[in-house]
Amino acid sequence: MTAPRAKITPHTIRQRKGGDPIVAITAYDAIMAHYADAAGVDIILVGDSVGNTALGLESTVPVTLDVIVHHTAAVVRTKPRALVVADVPFAEAHYDFDQVLRSCQRLLQEAGADAVKIEGGESLAPTIARLVEAGVPVWGHTGLKPQQVKQLGRYKKYGLNAKETDQLVVDAHALADAGCFSLLLEMVKPEATRAVVDAVDIPVVGIGAGADCGGQILVFTDVLGLTPGYVPGFAQKFADAGKLFARGLEEYAQAVRSREFPKSD
């Protein structure tokens, strides 16, 4: 009999720098978490993308801490082997330290997350260092920070010139020095990604940041072809579950209408 594979921790993720690629995916409920964990992913992110994927919102900005707590708890109840990371939603990481700590406390104690993810760079590094000191494992998220969409006016790629690349490296250094166990790098040109990967001794997991990252993350519904609307160009569909869902539901409706279901006793 083979021993059950050990739970993945921030420490084991940190040790993966230069090793096997890290596989990460988002999940927002128990069903998604079940399938993600059964597939053997390393990290399940309860991302604020729950807003645009599952809650019909136009961006991640309206997603609140209560929403992330609710969805993280559902994922955690499935007892995944994967590391469960809860997103710190819009603006929460910019309050005074006591409030940020309280938010992370809710994510770890009430929802049961193993770690939190925070969008930010150099300016948030002091807060992150204090969180790490308090025992909160932090996954830093830099490059495109979608929570800034109202300020940016659009989702854009980073590392397009030397100034942007230098800032990415400064941010990555600051986040690594603050004690992040890994970085998530979003929408970054491959040359700039290389500079970030080379600059830090923690693994960099990318989304739309090219092949040089130490792992990849995608949104669950994009991977399985379940996203009804816009899907970013960097996402790859690995199955067409949307078609299967549609066919199954049409067959069910047809069977009820034709009285083929249920079978008479």
Interacting residues with ligand KIV between 84 and 103 (CB under 6 A): 87
Q: Does 26 bind ligand KIV (CB under 6 A)?
A: yes
Q: How far is the CB of 41 from ligand KIV (least distance, A)?
A: 12
Between CA 78 and CA 68 the distance in angstroms is 16
List 168, 219, 223, 224, residue binding ligand KIV (CB under 6 A): 219
Short-list 110, 108, 112, 111, CA closest to 134: 108
If one asks whether residue 48 binds ligand KIV (CB under 6 A), the answer comes out as yes
Number of residues in contact with ligand KIV under rule CB under 6 A: 10
Beta strands in 2-129 (DSSP E): 22-26, 43-46, 83-87, 115-119
- Closest to ligand KIV by CB, 187 or 258: 187
Chain residues 119-158 in contact with ligand KIV, contact rule CB under 6 A: none
Q: Which of 16, 43, 44, 47 binds ligand KIV (CB under 6 A)?
A: 47
122 sits in which H/E element: none
Q: What is the DSSP letter of 135?
A: T
Q: Which amino acid is at 54?
A: A
For the CB of residue 186, give the shortest distance to ligand KIV in the complex, in Å: 5
Q: Which of 59-93 are b and which e, b meaning 16 or more Cβ less than 10 Å from the residue's Cβ? A: bbbebebebbbbbbbbbbebebbbbbbbbbbbebb
CA dihedral 95, 98, 103, 108 (to 10 degrees): 150
Cβ nearer to ligand KIV, comparing 32 with 219: 219
Mark residues 162-191: x for contact with ligand KIV by CB under 6 A, - for none: ------------------------x-----
**Toward ligand KIV, which CB reaches closer, 229 or 262?**
229
Q: Which residues bind ligand KIV (CB under 6 A)?
A: 26, 45, 47-49, 87, 186, 207, 217, 219
